[in-house]
Structure formats: structure tokens, C-alpha cells
Structure 1
Amino acid sequence: MTHDLRMVPPALVAWGAAAWLVTASSYVSVVVAIGSIVMAGALARWRPHRGLVWVLTAVCLAAIAVSCAWRLTTIEHSPLTDLAREHRLTTLDLEVRRDARTFTHHGHDSVVVEVLVRRAVSRDADITTRDHATAFLDGDAADLVVGRRFTATGRLAPSDNSDEAAVIDVVRRGPADRATWWWEASERVREGVRQSVTPVGDEPEALVPALVDGDDGRVSDKVEEDFRRSGLTHLMAVSGTNLTIVLAVVMAIGRAAGVRRRGLWVLGAVSIIAFVLLARPDPSVVRAAAMGAVGVAALGFGARGGVRALAWAIVGLLFLDPWLARSAGFVLSATATGGILLLAPPFAHRLERWMPRWCALAIAVPIAAQLVCTPAIAALSGEISLVAVVANLLAAPAVAPATVAGLVGGIVALVSVPLSHPPGIVAGACASWILTVGHRAAALDSASLEWRSPWQWLLVLVPLVTAVIMAISSRPVVFIGLSAGLLIAVWRPPQTGWPPAGWVMVACDVGQGDATVLNASGGSAVVVDAGPDPTAIDRCLDRLNVHRVRLMVFTHGHADHIDGWPGVLDGRQVDQVAVGPTGGPGRADIPQHLATPGESFTVGDVTARVLWPAASGPIRVAGSEGSTANNASIVLAAQVRGVRLMLSGDIEPEAQDGLLREHPDLSADVLKMPHHGSARQSKAFFDAVGARLATISAGEDNDYGHPAAAALSLLREEDMQWWRTDTDGDIAIVERDGRLLVVTRD
């Protein structure tokens, strides 16, 4: 098939120009606009026919530059921008542009909402405007949905985003007024979708609204992480897939009703508009609408014109919103659509020689999309998913039924919520299958490959891989053999020696937090702290083949030690939980007790004694609430198969010295470095421990500077060898024939 590629160079130039100009000043955009207009006129005069592509390129560049110049000038010279520079306290009339979202900030929930500022009143200033801004506020914001207006009083500040005039720290606000009827109608349908899936489980209940209309506010961090690793992230956001499904159903109904080509165009356009209203006019939704328009255009002009339609869609979107050029979603959506248009047909044509057409298309489409998106994914996440194609093939059959059933449930809920439950249950069952695929695929050790080289290398490597796949796709024996080999390698990767034989303790790489696993033998363990991320601790325990946690110890109640608790529970039996004075999470059906000084326990091969906190209560440090909680950490002196371990939580010098006074003999073979290797350490404590080995649990590039240079210097003085999770990954202490070894898994 021959594609019309004449619009590709203008689209690429427009894309690059937009990505650059939105970071420059309006004056640069004006210069580029004038220059490109002059260039277009000259080319049109001297090469009117042979230079058509160059003329179109200059025209597109001029259009993008004019759009950037207009938008940037409006923002730079807006009276609201001037008020923001002065940090004025202002009363504002605001309209919600995107639904409010809740996030955690300094331990409490806050709300962020993107707004359109219609009026701003401050001392000696009363302005009418239509500038964009971001507002931060506390309290419930369930009523702040797209289209609604409200008044607020807040402190303005300059925005770091070039497309916004200000950031608003809201002090108080009034109730939101009702929006126009079309926004209120879309909100009722969205609420109907949520109501229709209330009978299903928590994860499907959260995923179905994300599949139908992009409402992912209740999707858990674990699901997001697993979908990212398995290449299913696009399902949780409104994308071309969602719109394609809706369009396919609408078109099928239209054809069945006797609607023909021109009528189908109109029906498709109306469906796109309705979908944008339902899913909100976010950049991802507008992008999906444009990709849907490409599909409608292909319906009218044929597949040959699909690339041309895509190029015009890119130029049109960037003209309306040049900031899309730097949006990850725009990059992935446009490249995936281009890959499907260009690569899927030849792939499918070769596969059709030895398999049914439907099967060839099912395989060719995800392969084409994944190949073209690989450089962008590696640049954005530093990882390449090795299971994305298979995961998408397995999940794909459930996506359309889940989307359609969820949408039907939302519409039926407008009439009767109980009647909406049957389609909601169908949608939930389909979502459960998608979740199963995502979780199982992400759990594989080889689910993703870390890409540490410059992503630009993939611009050379991916075309080579594409050529190889294209060459073997018409040879069934070779194609099936290599595909099976890859699947087996991912499902059962070559043994890496993990967990190492004779391991007694592992410091899990959980980011900026603590999680230590003691081997109680027979697939059971004692786990001390769970880190900040459920997914990270879950994977660490999976790699260690831990199926039962005999005792879960939370040294203290800080998030970087307890927030991973759901990951410990995932698929494992937990017998008991022990907490210190600052408490910790638990579950009603799992016994929990307060660990006391002097208490000891034996669990399998693990023997341990609680050394701290002191019976007299936690040591308080004036002016440092964090230090008071840290100094209340449980400290364990543990022993596993003769190896003595000092697990010191986050205690700081005050508690370290207090511990030494109460227990002069603190000698151990291995020290779990206190407080992630912070600079605040007691040399006397380290002298008393006298360990040969130390583990440091810290997150890569963390904001705290852990481990501190002073802490590492102290370890050198004590002649302790150390390993750190931020550079070495999981750290295993191994006992073999009376010798201590360290094995890492980066």
C-alpha cells in the first residue's frame, strides 16, 4: 500500500517548533512567524508546484509560531500575571477547566484544580480576563467539576508553566454554581458509571470508570505501577482505544439503521463531540478525539489517506494548543497511531500468508504500536516493557466489553441505579480479567528491561528490530520459534542466583524507606518495616519466594516504613504484627501487639530481642517532631543461623547513646544503618556494635542526601564495609560454611 507522505515533513517541523517555542519568549515566536511567512511567500512564488511540500512546511511553521506568539504575549502581558508577580491577595471568579484532584502534601490531603480566571479583584485592581491558572486548596472539592464556577479568595504567585498566568493558594472559597446543561449531563453519566459498578470489587470498581471516561481518581498506586510495567497504562487514561470502541459501536448501529457514508461521517463527528463532553476536554481527550477524527477520515478517504489525516490532526492540535508538543501522552498517541497506520498493514499482510486475517491484525497492531513507541517510552520511564505486546493481546478482548458495558450502565443509571448493576457487573468482570493480566505480567522479573543508555540509540536499534520482525513474519516456523523463545525467557528467565543459597537477611530496594527480611526458612520470614511502596516490597518478597510472614514488625509510624503494608499482604499469610509506641497499620483479622523492651521471640530460624525504645518512654528532642518519632523506633538484636544482626530503625544520636547506656554489649556482625545513613550518628554506638558489614537503605537521588558523606566517613573509620540499596539494589547477607558474604541484585 502506498501512503501519501507529503504532509509528514510539515507536521514534524510544526511539532519540533511548538516544542521549542513554548519554552521561549513571545518575541522569538514573532520572529519565527515573520520569517516563515516570508519564506512561504518566496517558495510559493518561485517554486509553486515542485516546492509544494516546502510551502506547506513554511505555512505550518508560520501557523504554529503565530499561535505561540499570541498565547505567550497574552500571558506575559496579562494584568493577572502582574498581580501574581506582586503576590497579591485577590478575590477571583473562577471556572473549572479540569476536575479537581486530591493529593497528599506534608501528610494531609490537598486539592489541585485547573481553572479559568474570569475576574480578579484586588486593592486598586479590578480586571476581567480569561487566563489559565492552577488553584490549590484544602477541604472537600467533590463539587469542583468541569464547567462549574465559584468564587475564591487566595494569594497569587507566578506559575512555572508558560501557559498559565498564576498559581492560586486559596484561603477560602464559596460553593460552586451549576455548569451549563451539557456539562451537568456528562457529570450525571459519569456518576452513573460509578454507581453501576458498586457491586463489584474495589479494583474493578476503580478501573471501569477509568476505562469508560478516564476517571482514574480511585485507581490504586499498585495498579498504576503494574499497568506501567506490563504496558497497559494507556487503558487507564482516555485514549484513541476508548474512542475507537465507542465509534465502532455507534457506526455499527448506524449501518444497521441504514445510515450511509456521509451520514456515518456526521454520526462519527457527533459521537466524538459527545465523547469529549463525557471524558472532559483534557489534552489526552482532545488528542483521542483527533485520533478518532483520523479514523473517520480514513473511512472517507481510505487507508491511504490515514497518514495525511494524522499529519493534519497533529498540525491542527498543535495550532490550538502548542503545549501538547511536550506532552508525553501526545507523543505516545501520535507515534502509536502513525506506527499502526504505517507498519501494521505490511505486518498483517505477511502474517496472513499462514494465519487468519483477524489473528494477523490482532498481532500486528500491538507490535507496530509498541515498536514505534519504544524510544519515547524509554526516554520517559527509563524502561522497556518486554511483556507489553502479549499483555495487550490478552487484555484486548476484555477492553471493548468493559467499556461498552460500563457506558451502558452509566446511561441506564440515569433512569434506575438498580437496573444499571447488571451491565456494571459485566463491566467489572471484564475489568477483573484486565487486572489479572496486568498484575500477573508485571509480577514477572523480566516484565521490563531497564534502559540506561541514551534513548537516541533506540532510534537506530528499533528500525533494525522492525526490519528483522518484518523479514521473519512471513516464515511461520522462525516467527513462532522466536516468539515462543521470548515468551519462555520472560516467563522463566535464566536463573540469576537469586535468592542466593544461605541467605539470612535481605535489605530490600524499596526506594527512600526501609524494609528488611529475615529468613525464617521454608518460604517464611520475619519482615521488619515495609517501605513506602507496596509494589516494591511485594516484588522483593516474591523474588525471595516468601509466602508466609510469621511476624511483621513496624519500627515506627513514618510513611517510608509503613505505607508498603498492602504489598506485604498481597498473596501472603501474615501471622502477627508488632508495633512500637508510634503505632503502625494492621488488619482486623491479624493479631497485633505492642512490642516492649526486653521482649524476645523465636520464629523458625530467627531469634530476636527488643532492645529499644526505653521503658521510660521515647526520648524527646526539642523542636524536632520527626526526631522524637525516629528515636521511638523499635531496635532489634536478631540472630539467624548464628549471624548477629543489629536492626536499628531510624534512631538518632540521642537514642543511640541511650541504647548504649542500657545495653553496653551491642556487638553484631551486621548493622542495618540507622535512619538511611543520615549525618546524625553516634560514634560511640558504632564502636559498640563493631559490625563488619553494614546495609544502607536509601532511595536513588533522594532529596535528603542519604547516605550523608559524614555517615560514610564514620563507616570508614569503623572499618565497616557497606552496601546501599540506591546503587546496589536488593542486598543479601549470606552465610556459607561459617563465612559471611554479600550478594546484591541490581
Structure 2
Amino acid sequence: MNEASRSPSGRWRILAPAVLAWALVASAILVPGCGRWLAVAAFGIGVVAIGRVRARGRAVVLRCAGIACAMLVVLGARIDALEQVREDPQFARTATSGRATTLDIELRGFPKTSIDERGRRSSWAPAVARSASGDMPVVLWFAADSLRSDSPRSGAEEPGDRSGDANLWGPGTLALASGTLVSLDAGSSARYGVRVTSFDAVATDGADSASATIRAVTTHAAARLRAGLREAAAAVPGAELVPGFAVGDTSLVPERLDQQMRESSLTHLVAVSGANCALVVAAIFTVSGWLGVPRRARIALAGSALAGFVAVVGPDPSVQRAGVMAAVVLLSSFGGKRAIALPGLGLAVLALLVNDPWQALQPGFALSVAATAGILLWVPDVMLLLGRVFPSPQWVRLPVAVAIAAQFACGPLLLLVQSGFPAAGLVANVLAAPAAPWGTGLGLLALLAAPLLPEVSHACVWLASMPASWVVATAEVTAALPGARWAWPGGWGGAALLAGVEITVLVAWWLLERRFGEHAVRDPGAPSPGAPVTSGRTPWGWNVPRPRRTAVWSAALLCGALGAFLGPTLIAPTTARLTTPHTWSVVACDVGQGDALLLRDPGTPDTVMLVDTGDDPERLDSCLERFGVRRIAILVLTHDDRDHVGALSAIDDRVDRALIAPSNREDGDVRPVLASLQTAGVSTQVGGSGMIDALGGLHWEVLAPEPGATPADTNSASLVLRVEAGATSVLLLADTGEDEQLALQRTGADLDVDVVKVAHHGSSDHDSGIFTAASAEVALISVGADNGYGHPTASVIEGLRRTSTTVLRTDELGSIAVSGDPGALDVWAERGASSEEQSER
């Protein structure tokens, strides 16, 4: 190992205690009152550790323990102080009572958009509420009509007055917010959520403090810049990602594109990250260097630019993390200066936790730290390896090496968020890496030019739309690739398995690179003993001989890692496909707490009906792949609830036509489902009783609701169908309740079927007579494991048993396929039930 790559002594002396403190803080904040005891215990242990160090002299472990204890004393005291505010009794009483209240609010970030459970966009913002104990952290949830754009005041708007335009609200905005309080989990950064019914921004005046006035003016200017960029991007086709590149504003990103970027692991490009901050700082350093500005002045200019960037983006925790991590990466020259790289990361972790200890449990915090650690540890070696394989300039290899290192480090943590291995994610990030900085840089130029030079701003946005279009195309292509996400177990088990594979690969790599103290050997091609000596990092050509034991161990480790990786990604899925029946008529896909059913005539296997989509695109895609469904001839969306239509964007490009439920009085005529289908070019038809159709061996009749009716809500608007899938008849009850089921029986429709899909995941809102009328051989209940609703209820299970119907549940069996002839149906299940469950059925 050469000296240039050797890590300096003591590089873990700050990072290791910081990681230990992080883990203990994450546990302490889950138990209110634990912070003070953590500080007391750490103080006592620290005193003992310092005493032992003084007695023994240079003891590395004891020194690290002393540093960790010092960190924990500070963090424990900080947690205890903040908990005194979070446990304010007046807030607790208000939240428990459920009564509406009015709060004195200060926003701590710009409002952000999100999509609710029915696909409708809504807004939220981080804030603090004034209390007798201090600033209570809350999150505001804005209803569609609570963002007031009219001001109760008259006259011209002053610089500090943001009450007249919701688009100009941001950090420092003072307001009176009315709504109801909702208690959040102990591990949440915000103690309460506020369902806002009205929000009146308060203008600042001369009576306010100077700091408040400065914040108000700064927020006003930053909000105007953001609004100007958003308006400019909305006017340019293909520029919907530009505000996201520049300032993390994703309000223009359509739901379909957002889903594609999630599937291709590109969402970090439109969320302000360390890359944005690094680009700002690097640009200022480069330009000021060209102008001959002294180094100290360049540092001051870069710091000022970074502060201005944070002001425009908003001082959210994610932005604070991005700025701090970017500073660590830049100061260490992407890990090239090992003496300050990892200690700097340890100090960054400590500073961020002192600012907000509740970040310790946030996935974004863990991903940010992991990505930064990966960059610091592996970028130099990855760049060297890329240079060996693909000789190229450093500026070409650097973004690719950063993407590889960050993805490698974050892989196990991402499995805690969603299962599956994003095979296309690395490819997508490598392809998008060169375009993102151009989009970010041009977007920031457009942001700054908008107030004074609108034409220049428009031109910059137009130029930025080119790299934005490249990223959009990358997301579309990689998300649609076969096998874009490989099977891999989620949760802690899947994360531990992937971490084990990665650690094994790293150990094998270190062995091959002679990192365990082997002496350098002479190149066998050297003609004399005085020839140059090499360390084993020879590129192509002569390979330096290594001890046989090293080669054997490295090969064994790599083979073990390959086997562990291929098991979940290749062997298990292949085995599953080989054992899946190919003559199915009905399939209940396991999509969690939602519905998604496939129907077809086995004689015409390419003509498939999909009834509802569930709310988990990955699970739906997995089910379609397992049962060989590539095209959907007819899509039936029984109603608009999220657990029935939430995964629509994942399959709408594979749908020929759709049958949808009518509008209802609760939601009105604004239907995101209809808009999504129209955007995808899918022809739609509103269903109603009496409608009969057929396609490729499928025959169906709509039994409810009445045509032209406007039901009260989504459940009562549910389409009820009787489908003939070849020889198998199926009754699909959607989410109908007892009233709708009684009305259905009064119509005299033929309800006698072979298979019944139980309504509303087996809720108690059922009429038992519907099961008697169906007299089905098999009942399918699509329900999520450990759901909080108690589905399916005992009364539904008992009602089905009284009719001698076999009950099959997706929470117990996974995806379920029904095939065979009526009276002798064959059932296949993804996973077997326990013997106790079998006996109960």
C-alpha cells in the first residue's frame, strides 16, 4: 500500500464516538425523560475514562470513550432542555380535547407540496408555535382552501408583508394559524401536527425586532426569486425539473414523472443535497480564481454564496445537512485529505444532532451521513479503478465515482425504506450525473436573473430544460427497463444481508490490494535487484504475484458474496416463476392494504383484466411480472380511494382502456384518476348498472351503481361487477357497505358465483346475506398484514364459514391464484399458511 493512500493515525477518534453518540441519542429520544439520565451516566463514565487515561497514558479506546461521553453529556442536556418545551401541558390538553385552537406561528421553511391518499396535491410546512415554555416544533398541514391569497389589509404591500400572497410565505413568516392539534410520535422532529383551517400571515412593522424585520425582508426576497423561477419554468416545455434542480421546488413535477424518478433512484437530484451546495461553492471558487481574487477572499465569497443559497432554499434540516456535508466533502477534497475527512464528518454529525437531536431517527439524516462517508472513504480508490479500466480525465471520472460510492454506501439503508434492489438506479445516476450540475447551475442563474433580466432568465431556463429533459428521459427509460428493480428482502433483515455482501466484497478488495501489511514485492519483469519496487497496484500488463493464501481467501470471499447476492435476486425469483401456475383464471395480488385482482380466460391468456391497482407500485409490478402480464386489455378502477388507485402511474402505460366509477358528492368532479388516465392517453368509460361487455374470453356485467347517479362518497360509488373468466364466475364487491349490498340483492341480479372478492378488506360493514346469495366456493380477501383497522373482522369470517366458503387471505398467503373448473377449483398461494390457520379454514 503506497503512502499517498495510507489513512492517518487517529482518523476514527472523532467519527466513532459520534456514531456511538448518534445511536444512543436515537434510543433516548424515544423515551421521554431519558436525556438527563443519558447525560448523567455519560458524565460518570467519562470521568472514569479520563482517570484511566491519565493512569495508563496513551489508551486509544479510553480516549474514544472519553470523547463519546463528552458528546453524550452535551446531547443529553440538549434533549432534556428541548423536551421541557415539547411536553408543554397546555398543548397536550388541547391535542387531547380535539378542539380547534389558534396558534402564534413562525414558519421555519417554505411550504412544500405532497400528494394525499386520494392523489390530490396538498401543502405542508415546518414551523414553531409560540408557547410559555418556548418554541414548540410543529408541522402545518394545509387544506386546499386554507392557503389564503387575499389579505385583510388594504394598501400597498410592504417588504415585510407576506399576508397577501401565499407564494411569498417562507422562513420567518409570522402568522396566526387556526386548526386542530394532532400528537405525533416521540421520535418525530415535530411534536404536533396542525390541521390548518385558516392561516393569516402577519405583517412586520417597526415594533418588531430588527432581526425579525431582516428575516422578513430576506424571506420576501427569497420567495419572490423562487416564484419567479417557478413561473419561468412553467412557461418552458420540459423545464418542470429546473426549480427542483436549483432550489428543491418540485411543485411542477407531475405524479407520473415523480414515480419514475423514485423507481430509478433519481429523486435526490430535485431535492437540495450536498451536491447543490458543493456546486455553488465550487463555482464561486472557480470564477473568483479566474478573476485573481486572493484565497481568503474566495473563501469568504464562497461562504456568503452558500449562506445566500440556503436562504433561498430555506433552512430546513435537509438543507442544513446538505450544507454541512458539502463543506466536509470539499474541505477533504472528496476524501483525498484523509487527515480531516472522517474527523470532519464526526464533527458534522455532532453539530447537526446538537441543533436537532430528533434528526437521529430521520432516514434522510442516515442517508446523508452514509453517502458522505462513502464518498470520503471510497471515491479516491474508485476513481483509480475507473482510470485503470477506462482511462479518462478526472473531471469525467469524479461524478461517476461519487455516484458509485454514494449508492454503495446507501444501499442497505434504502432497503429500510422500500424493498427491492434498484439495479437501474446506479445506471440512471451515472447517466444523469453529468446533466444535473448543468441543470442546477443554469437554474440558479435563471433564479438570479428573473427580477432584473426576465429575457436572460427565460433563456437560462430554456438552456436548463435540455439537461432536465435528459434526466427525464433517463428516468423514463431506466424505470421501464425489464428488471429495473431486482427482488431483495426489505427491512432490517434485507439491509443486514446486503451490508454483509458489501463488507465481504470490501474485505476481498482490501486483500487483493494488499492492505493488510504485506510487504511490497519486486516486479518479476525487473532485470536486476535494483529495479523499481511496486506495491501491487499495477494496472494492466504484469500482475504482481500474491501469496496463494491471499488469492484463495479473496476468491472464496468473492464467491460467497456473489452467491449471497444471486440468491435473492436471481435464484429465488426464477424458482418462483417456475413454480407459479400458468393456467390461472383469477389472481389476488398481495399489494398490502389494498386491492389488485387479475382475471382472464386461460384459453386467451394475453387478454387480461386488472381490477384496481393497490397503493404499492413495487408489489403490483412484482405480481404482474410473476404471472406474466405484460399488457392490460381492460383496467377497472372500482373507486378513487388511494388503496385502489394509488399505483396507477406504474401501469397506465400498459393499459388499452379503462372502466371507472362515477363521480361522488364528497369529492366533486375534480378527479386526479381521470386526469392521469387522460394524460397517459387511455380511453375511459364511466360504469353503471346494466353495462355488459366482453373481450377475449372475458365477459362482464356492471351490477352497481345506477347509471347517472351521484353517490354520496367513494365507497358508495364503487363499481360492482360479475365477471365470467372462462368457466369461472367471479363477484367483485369493491368497497361496498351493508346498504349497497342490500340494494344489490334487491335488484334480483344473478349473484351466484364460484369466487367472491370480499368487500372493503373484510370490514364489519357487511350484510351476511350477500355471502348466502353468492354461495361461492372460494372467497378472496385482499388485506394488509398487521393493519390497524382490524381487517378482516371475525363476523365476516364467520359469515363466510356458514356458507361453506373457503376463505383465502393475502395477508396470510401472499398472492393467490385460482384455476381449474367450477366445483373443483385449484388454489395456489405464494406462501403456505401455518397448520393452525389451515385447520381454522
Same fold (TM over 0.5): yes
CA distances 1:613-650 after superposition (whole Å, capped 9, x unpaired): 468989x9xxxx66xx6455333222233322222223
Contact kept? 1:116, 1:131, Cα under 8 Å: yes
Contact (CA 8 Å) 1:386, 1:446: kept in 2 or not?
A: yes
1:363 and 1:104 mapped to 2: Cα distance? 32
1:426 and 2:463 matched: yes
How far did residue 307 of structure 1 move? 1.9
Determine if the alignment matches structure 1 residue 95 to structure 2 residue 131.
no
1:28 is aligned, of 29, 37, 42, to: 37
Q: Where in structure 2 are the equivalents of 1:85-484 lying within 5 Å?
A: 85-87=92-94, 92-101=103-112, 112-118=124-130, 127=132, 129-136=134-141, 138=143, 139-140=146-147, 141-152=166-177, 160-161=185-186, 172-177=198-203, 179-201=215-237, 205-220=239-254, 222-259=256-293, 261-299=295-333, 303-305=337-339, 306-357=341-392, 358=394, 361=398, 364-443=401-480, 444-445=482-483, 447-448=485-486, 449-451=488-490, 454=493, 455-468=495-508
Distance verdict in 2 for CA 1:707–1:415, change over 3 Å: same
1:519-556 Cα offsets, whole Å, 9 max, x none, are: 37474444433444677657766776667655444434
- Structure 1 residue corresponding to 2:612, chosen from 510, 529, 535: 529
| 1:123 aligned partner | none
- Alpha-carbon distance in structure 2 between the residues aligned to 1:524 and 1:317: 55
1:50–1:472 distance in 2 versus 1, CA, 3 Å? closer
1:90–1:154 contact (8 Å) kept in structure 2: yes
2:643 match: 560
- Is 2:325–2:345's contact at 8 Å kept on the other side of the alignment? yes
Question: Does the 8 Å CA contact 1:265/1:296 hold for their aligned counterparts?
Answer: no
Q: Is the 8 A contact 1:531 1:562 kept in 2?
A: yes
Note the alpha carbon deviations across 1:107-154, whole angstroms, 9 max, x for none: 787654332345x5xxxxxx5844433445541154431121223456
Q: CA deviation at 1:69?
A: 1.3
Identity of aligned residues (%): 30
Distance 1:611 1:155 in 2: 41
In structure 1, what is the Cα distance between the partners aligned to 2:356 and 2:719? 54
Cα pair 1:102 1:109 within 8 Å, conserved: yes
1:570 matched to 2:653? The reply is yes
Match of 2:805 in 1: 720
DSSP-derived class of the 2:126 partner: strand
Deviation at residue 654 of structure 1 after TM alignment: 4.3
| Contact 1:116–1:132 (CA under 8 A) maintained in structure 2 | yes
> In structure 2, what is the equivalent of residue 607 of structure 1?
699
Mapped to 1, the partners of 2:512 and 2:805 lie a distance apart of 55
How far, CA to CA, are the matches of 1:737 and 1:89 in structure 2? 57
Work out whether residues 222 and 534 of structure 1, in 8 Å CA contact, stay in contact via their aligned partners in 2. no
Length-normalised TM-score, structure 1: 0.83
Distance of aligned partners of 1:158 and 1:81 in 2 relative to their CA distance in 1, 3 Å threshold: farther
Cα deviation, 1:11-56, whole Å, max 9, x if unaligned, reads 2233234323434524314414532563465356445x62477446
- Cα deviation for residue 337 of structure 1 reads 1.5
Which amino acid in 2 is paired with 1:386? A
Q: Give the C-alpha shift of residue 693 in structure 1.
A: 2.9
* Alignment CA distance shift 1:184-1:472 (3 Å): farther
Map Cα deviations across residues 720-745 of structure 1 (whole Å, 9 max, x no partner).
Answer: 34443445444444459997544556
Whether contact under 8 Å (1:676, 1:707) holds in the other structure is yes
Match for 2:350: what amino acid?
Answer: V
1:542-691 pair list within 5 angstroms: 550-574=633-657, 577=659, 579-580=661-662, 582=664, 585-586=673-674, 593-613=685-705, 630=715, 633-663=718-748, 665-691=750-776
Give the Å deviation of 1:332: 1.3
Question: Shift in Å at residue 651 of structure 1?
Answer: 3.2
Alpha-carbon distance between aligned partners in 2 of 1:617 and 1:169, rounded to the nearest angstrom:
32
After TM superposition, the structure 1 stretch with the greater mean CA deviation from structure 2, 277-286 or 508-517, is: 508-517
Distance 2:344 2:775 in 1: 70
Matched, 1:58 2:66: yes
1:2 — aligned with what? 6
Distance 1:395 1:447 in 2: 18
Name the structure where strand makes up a greater proportion of residues.
Answer: 1
Counterpart CA distance in 2 for 1:497 and 1:301 is 47
Q: CA deviation at 1:291?
A: 1.3
Deviation at 1:241, TM superposition (A): 2.0
- How far the C-alpha of 1:181 sits from its partner, in A, is 3.2
Contact 1:3 1:307 in 2 (8 A): no
Q: CA deviation at 1:84?
A: 1.6
Output the aligned Cα RMSD.
Answer: 4.2
Look up the SS of the partner of 1:694 in the other structure: strand
Q: Give me the whole-angstrom Cα distance separating, in 1, the residues matched to 2:509 and 2:336.
A: 26
Aligned to 1:505: 586
Query: 2 CA distance for matches of 1:457 and 1:533?
Result: 23
Figure out how many residues of one structure are paired with residues of the other and give that number.
Answer: 722
Q: Is the 8 A contact 2:167 2:227 kept in 1?
A: no
More deviation in 691-700 or 282-291? 691-700
Q: CA deviation at 1:415?
A: 2.2
- 1:282-339 CA-partner distances (Å, limit 9, x unpaired): 1111111111211332259952222222222222322333223222122111122112
Contact 1:314 1:334 in 2 (8 A): yes
CA contact (8 A) 1:75 1:164 kept: no
Gaps of 5+ in 1: 121-126
Structure-2 change in CA distance of 1:729 and 1:226 (3 Å):
farther
